[in-house]
Chain A
Amino acid sequence: GEDVEQSLFLSVREGDSSVINCTYTDSSSTYLYWYKQEPGAGLQLLTYIFSNMDMKQDQRLTVLLNKKDKHLSLRIADTQTGDSAIYFCAESTGTGGFKTIFGAGTRLFVKA
């Protein structure tokens, strides 16, 4: 079945760039997402990319998609302590993108 995998932890220094990686198995994915979850809170959609795109940039966030290798990454430039959170990669499958598969989440620690 479909699967989404990501590393569990990442630690960076404040001001550095963070790169969170994700691999997925379903080649028919329509959308790929990055969500942020702060402690005790629900998920917040950070950004998403349509499966026929290679890259999307949104202020400090850059999403890169390598469809051949089924690899998705999220780069956060100038990482701040407020970026400390769990980041989930997800893919949607099927017509319309209604069915969603999530990764286990990467916990980002930002050291001051």
Chain B
Amino acid sequence: EAQVTQNPRYLITVTGKKLTVTCSQNMNHEYMSWYRQDPGLGLRQIYYSMNVEVTDKGDVPEGYKVSRKEKRNFPLILESPSPNQTSLYFCASSFASGRVMIQETQYFGPGTRLLVL
């Protein structure tokens, strides 16, 4: 079954304690992306990756890091989480041909709800 998986699904942590949210897709997609969803703000893009070892900033990259060492995985790293990073996080993936995303192949993960105390 084609899917994007995220782990953990729920996480409560404390300020400053490094954490990683994993994202994995089984569709051999080139493109992967991280978003955060906050009430009244919709989704905001954090980082995206067009292929292995190619990443770029979205709209709200501050406080986050990503890596794309292999095609299927795109972890989101919070080196020193703060309460304003409390949010619902979504990972997404799709095929890309050359430098163009194939729109209709987009899949989203189920979300990771993070609470930073």
CB within 8 Å of B: which residues of A? 4, 8, 31, 33, 41-45, 48, 88, 90, 92, 95-105
Contacts and interface: CB of A to CB of B under 8 A. Distances in A.
Given A42-B109, A45-B103, A45-B106, A98 B48 contact: yes
24 contacts: A4-B42, A42-B4, A42-B108, A42-B109, A43-B92, A45-B104, A45-B106, A48-B104, A88-B42, A90-B43, A95-B99, A97-B103, A98-B31, A98-B33, A98-B48, A98-B50, A98-B101, A99-B45, A99-B48, A99-B58, A102-B35, A102-B44, A103-B42, A104-B42
Contacts, number: 65
Nearest to A89: B42
Contacts of B48: 98-99
B45 A43 contact: no
A96 B50 contact: yes
Given A98-B50, A100-B33, A41 B101 contact: no
What is the interface of chain A mostly: helix, strand, loop, or mixed? strand
Contact size range, B: 20 to 34
Given A96-B50, A104-B42, A42 B111 contact: yes
Nearest to A104: B42
B99 to A, nearest CB: 4
Given A42-B110, A43-B108, A44-B108, A97 B43 contact: no
Contacts of B62: none
Contact of A102 (B4, B42, B106, B109): B42
Task: Pick from A33, A98, A103 the residue with the most CB of B within 10 Å.
Answer: A98
A97 B101 contact: yes
